[in-house]
Amino acid sequence: MAIITEELVSLERITAAQPREVIEQLAGQIVTAGRASDAEPLIASAWAREEQSATGMPGGFAIPHCRTSAVSEPTLAFARLGTAVDFGSFDGPADLVFLIAVPETASQDHLKILSALATGLMQDEFVTALRSAGSASEVVALIDSAVAPTEEQPSAEEPTAQEPTAEAGEPVRRLVAVTACPTGIAHTYMAADALKQAAQARGIDLHVETQGSAGSTPLPASAIADAEAVIFAVDVDVRDKSRFAGKPVVAARVKRGIDDPGALLDDALRAAQDPNAAVVSSESEDEAATGEQGRESFGRSVQRVLMTGVSYMIPFVAAGGLLIALGFLLGGYNITDVASDIAFNHSLWNLPTAAELPADFHGWGALGGYLGSVFFTMGSAAMGFLVPALAGYIAYGMADRPGIAPGFTAGAVALSMDAGFIGGIVGGVLAGAVAYWFRRLDVPRWLAGLMPVVIIPLVATIVAAGLMLLVLGGPIAALTASLEGWLESMTGSAAALLGVILGLMMCFDLGGPVNKVAYSFAVAGVSGAVAAGSDAPLMIMATVMAAGMVPPLGLALATFLDRKLFTVAERENGKTAVLLGAAFISEGAIPFAASDPLRVLPASMLGGAVTGALTMVFGVTSYAPHGGVFVAFAIDSFLLFLLAVLAGAALTALSVIALKRWTRKAPAAA
């Protein structure tokens, strides 16, 4: 089916004062044309993209666009406005607006057509013809003619070079560029085309790689080797950035590649001649360039590095915790007493005897005892990486790969000194700070190659692990021991209060930094609790998991109880949220919170607080750090655990229904 039809064209019919109003009316045209069943999710997706980066372009046109499940096929809606609307272009408002909506599962052929259209819009003749078109059918024909030749021409994503037109006798300047935007539909290709046109006018040999939705063909290695400098006109991370290591770099938002490509090329040529210019690091992260995107605030930087550490730690926790839980399922909870001996001294052909198993053994026979010991041993080994991985990847978040070895070492020292989770954070920050400082040093070129692989890891390890071993480890271990003792002593109202606090934290931001702090606090004690026979950390783990299940389950229940309060998209999300909540994936509630945070988040926190308090009061414990109802075998008093979850979910559902019925939602800002 065609990407655009006459039904999707509006000539001077739309009257609007703000970009969102234009998008809303174009989305209505798409619904009327039968390509979407509900305009709201389409508007939300397009507006979210617009808020990331304005879509107004030089020349008086705008291309709001999105990838969304709200549309059934790739679609373009066009409006020629009677009164131009400001879409954020530096040269004034836009009177031509193209709303591009692409399904999440769009084929590569459709994406190539849309990218070709975006490139065609950089041609003045095409835009002028659209302004003078007298009918909707003429507009459709113009757009069809713009995209039809794409099958015979090179794909828009292929890295291309323009023939240089430098003066005779002058050396040809050579550059490479990468363009990319979050959706990879319009800005990516328009920036590439604008840069190529500007390069041709300046006599520059430019190769461009577009990393868009239609795919990406990497730049030839020879083009990169010959280039004097590289341009990153991107709003997302560049794929395989290490290819450009050592090249002078200019980094900017993708929109600057469209608005001011000549200045971007001039900056790159100057960087090529400047010995102090920023260069592409050999590491995966781009240290060049905050550039025009601005430097991170201190708070945002702290959040980023801590979340990096936690995100890399969680796979160790999930794998290790579930293996330990399987070990208990097969070998009983007292298999810990003999697990190492059985795992290393027996095999499937030499199972342990009854005398070698614990006296009060409750596992699944000799085979269960052996497999339980194996699973427990593997799980304990994986959990042993928890603190080193946390520290190592915190350091990685601060200083990239040179920080990993010092961070892991400092974390291992913290673990050996019983400094625990807190020691891992401190060790990781120390290692990352030292490694980051050394990376910023201006060293001779002959020494630069040794810095990331020898000098930085060595010095940062000595400083971070040495400080942890000689100065900080002891006090942090004492603090950790006192915290564990305090948790052991909590009963009654004190335990309920801790449950309330943990429940509120788990539901505050649905998988964000506050949620991750509570979760990390819980999982840090699981492996130690298994070895020490302590129940308090296992109660905290059960509380955190139960509270984290509440938001998606509660909101799913609300969509079933009062469907008319929710949009079609939210009702569909409600069906998915049941499974996500049951599996302890709090992020299942994010679609609801994103559209109505002032009512969804308080209702979620209320339910989470009640569930947290009940779980602690019931004394439920969990040996598994993840899985929800699917790890029932690892949860002691599972029926009480389920009761606490259902109570919180019901309260969340009733609360959000009441808030939606009796509190007025402020209208969205245009």
Q: Let me know if 181 is a catalytic residue.
A: yes
Catalytic residue among 66, 181, 187, 346: 181
Closest CA relative to residue 117, chosen from 129, 105, 104, 126:
126
- Given a contact cutoff of 8 angstroms between Cβ atoms, the answer to whether 112 and 150 are in contact is yes
* 580 φ/ψ sector (left φ>0, alpha ψ -120 to 50, else beta): alpha
Angle formed at CA 522 by CA 519 and CA 525, multiple of 5 degrees: 145
Report how far residue 511's alpha carbon sits from residue 604's, in angstroms, rounded to the nearest whole number. Answer: 13
Q: Let me know if 187 is a catalytic residue.
A: no
Q: What torsion do the CA atoms of 351, 355, 361, 366 make, to the nearest 10 degrees?
A: 20
Pairing, β 94-102 against β 61-62:
parallel
Report how far residue 614's alpha carbon sits from residue 616's, in angstroms, rounded to the nearest whole number. Answer: 5
Would you give the DSSP letter of residue 98? E
* Those residues with Cβ within 8 angstroms of residue 60's Cβ, 6 or more apart along the chain or in another chain: 84, 89, 91, 92, 93, 94, 95, 96, 127
Q: How many CB atoms lie within 10 A of CB 180?
A: 24
* 353 φ/ψ sector (left φ>0, alpha ψ -120 to 50, else beta): beta
Closest CA relative to residue 655, chosen from 587, 609, 594, 590:
609
DSSP state string for 241-263: GGGGTTSBEEEE-HHHHHH-HHH
Q: How many CB atoms lie within 10 A of CB 82?
A: 12
Report how far residue 286's alpha carbon sits from residue 355's, in angstroms, rounded to the nearest whole number. Answer: 60
Phi/psi at 282 (5° precision) = -75, -5
Bridge-partner residues for 110, per DSSP? none
Closest CA relative to residue 184, chosen from 360, 309, 53, 308:
53
Q: Which amino acid is at 148?
A: A
- Given a contact cutoff of 8 angstroms between Cβ atoms, the answer to whether 71 and 185 are in contact is no
R_g (Cα) of the chain, nearest Å? 29
* Those residues with Cβ within 8 angstroms of residue 383's Cβ, 6 or more apart along the chain or in another chain: 316, 317, 320, 321, 324, 526, 527
Closest CA relative to residue 292, chosen from 244, 327, 257:
257
Q: How many CB atoms lie within 10 A of CB 88?
A: 15
Structure tokens given for 56 = 């107004």
Would you give the DSSP letter of residue 78? E
Structure tokens given for 551 = 């938001």
Structure tokens given for 16 = 């609007």
Residues recognised as catalytic: 65, 181
